[in-house]
């Protein structure tokens, strides 16, 4: 590396890392990306809110705007609800290249594997060492040097995994579709995200006892969809308790901090939100307005503020996981009896991270729905 000392070193050039660099917007920023180019390996279904994509100046990456969500159970017709704000699927490569291209203060080193992050802002790579006044670990799950994550009991028996393909589809391509129930897959859920006229990303996610590829093929068969030679892509889903927000005096953002919402598996929007919080703090450190330790403590508190929401979503996820198929179907079908405004209000609370009621209140609400 021609330069070793930076204001900020960001490990990871995907959603969390690029968004953090975008919001820092000052100082000398170095982004270290393991892949040979940005946007090379897509590991998620790449769907998030339109508002975030517009804020980041990447509207050109939008493939399809989505205003509705349809939830399917093993029994009965799907239940469609209007989303309180529009979502969209995006072209991952175009998004990464556009966001990076709009940065004036960042240098990006691709093909660089980070070996270790040490206290004092030291980052060791396969190409040498560099330092930063602040370091952001946005390297994805489990994060740099976080071997303990593999032993985390929150995974229960095995890590959750998501796998999907992009292919032609003759069915509904006007809404996000989620499929719960043993008819589709055990110990998880299936999804269909439209990406344009007659094209979708279709896949599965969950904690599977066998091969995820075998589960995906079973889901495709149930949907009457052929792979048509499409190559599956995917990765681990850290839909568990929030991880360490600070590790070795580095800010930990995105999947590296398990900032993926349990129950929905939504991680991109969560990565953007925490990246913006982190960036504002890092900017104050670079400008000398606060010391590093104060900034790390402030970011840690901000992440902890969202912990009740993540814990409740994990609780709901576990209940759905162990719920009998007939009860799960009844719960989904009960949405048909809920007026549109009330359904939108519930989803709005979810989007705002405002599901923080006690677990007893959540259980009572579920029981009340079952008895309707």
Per-residue pLDDT reduced to its tens digit, 31-49: 999 999 999 989 889 999 9
Domain boundaries, the chain: 5-46+91-152+241-305, 64-86+160-236+323-372
Answer for the pair 62, 90: CB distance below 8 angstroms, yes or no: yes
DSSP conformational letter for 183: T
Stated pTM of the model: 0.91
Domains 5-46+91-152+241-305 and 64-86+160-236+323-372 share a fold: no
Q: What is the CATH number of domain 5-46+91-152+241-305?
A: 3.50.50.60
pLDDT in tens, 250-301: 999 999 999 999 988 899 999 999 999 999 999 999 999 999 999 999 999 9
- Alpha-carbon distances, residue 207 vs 82, 156, 309 (angstroms): 29, 9, 21
- Does residue 165 contact residue 201 with C-beta atoms inside 8 Å? yes
Q: Which CATH architecture does the domain made up of 64-86+160-236+323-372 adopt?
A: 2-Layer Sandwich (3.30)
Could you tell me which of 15, 169, 191, 174 has the C-alpha nearest to residue 90?
15
Contact (CB, 8 A) for 143 and 150: no
- Indicate the average pLDDT of the chain: 89
Distance from the first to the final alpha carbon of the chain: 65
pLDDT band at 371 (very low <50, low <70, confident <90, very high): low
Give the separation between CA 84 and CA 321, rounded to whole angstroms: 26
The whole-angstrom separation of Cα 206 and Cα 160 is: 5
């Amino acid at each position: 590396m021609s330069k070793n000392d930076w204001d900020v070193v960001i490990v990871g050039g995907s959603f969390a890392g690029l968004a953090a660099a975008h919001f820092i917007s000052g100082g000398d920023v170095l982004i270290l990306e393991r892949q040979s180019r940005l946007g090379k390996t897509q590991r998620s279904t790449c769907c998030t809110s339109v508002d975030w994509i517009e804020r980041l100046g990447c509207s050109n990456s939008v493939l399809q705007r989505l205003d509705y969500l349809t939830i399917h159970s093993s029994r009965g017709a799907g239940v469609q609800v209007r989303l309180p704000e529009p979502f969209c699927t995006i072209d991952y490569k175009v998004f990464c290249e556009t966001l990076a291209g709009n940065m004036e203060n960042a240098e990006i080193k691709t093909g660089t594997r980070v070996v270790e992050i040490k206290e004092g802002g030291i980052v060791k790579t396969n190409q040498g060492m560099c330092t930063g006044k602040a370091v952001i670990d946005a390297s994805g799950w489990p994060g740099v040097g976080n071997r303990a994550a593999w032993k985390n009991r929150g995974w229960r028996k095995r890590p959750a995994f998501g796998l999907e393909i992009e292919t032609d589809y003759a069915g509904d391509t006007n809404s996000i579709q989620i499929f719960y129930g043993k008819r589709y897959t055990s110990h998880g859920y299936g999804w269909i995200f439209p990406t344009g006229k007659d094209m979708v990303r279709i896949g599965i996610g969950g904690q599977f006892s066998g091969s995820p590829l075998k589960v995906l093929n079973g889901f495709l068969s149930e949907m009457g969809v052929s792979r048509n030679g499409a190559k599956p892509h995917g990765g681990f889903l850290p839909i568990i308790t929030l991880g360490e927000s600070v590790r070795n005096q580095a800010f930990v953002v995105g999947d590296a901090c398990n900032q993926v919402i349990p129950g929905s598996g939504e991680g991109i929007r969560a990565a953007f939100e925490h990246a913006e919080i982190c960036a504002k703090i890092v900017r104050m450190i670079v400008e000398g307005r606060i010391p590093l330790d104060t900034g790390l403590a402030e970011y840690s508190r901000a992440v902890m503020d969202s912990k009740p929401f993540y814990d409740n979503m994990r609780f709901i996820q576990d209940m759905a996981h162990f719920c009998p198929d007939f009860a799960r179907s009844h719960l989904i079908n009960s949405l048909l009896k809920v007026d549109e405004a009330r359904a939108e209000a519930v989803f709005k609370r979810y989007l705002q991270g405002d599901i923080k009621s006690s677990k007893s209140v959540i259980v009572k609400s579920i029981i009340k729905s079952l008895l309707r």
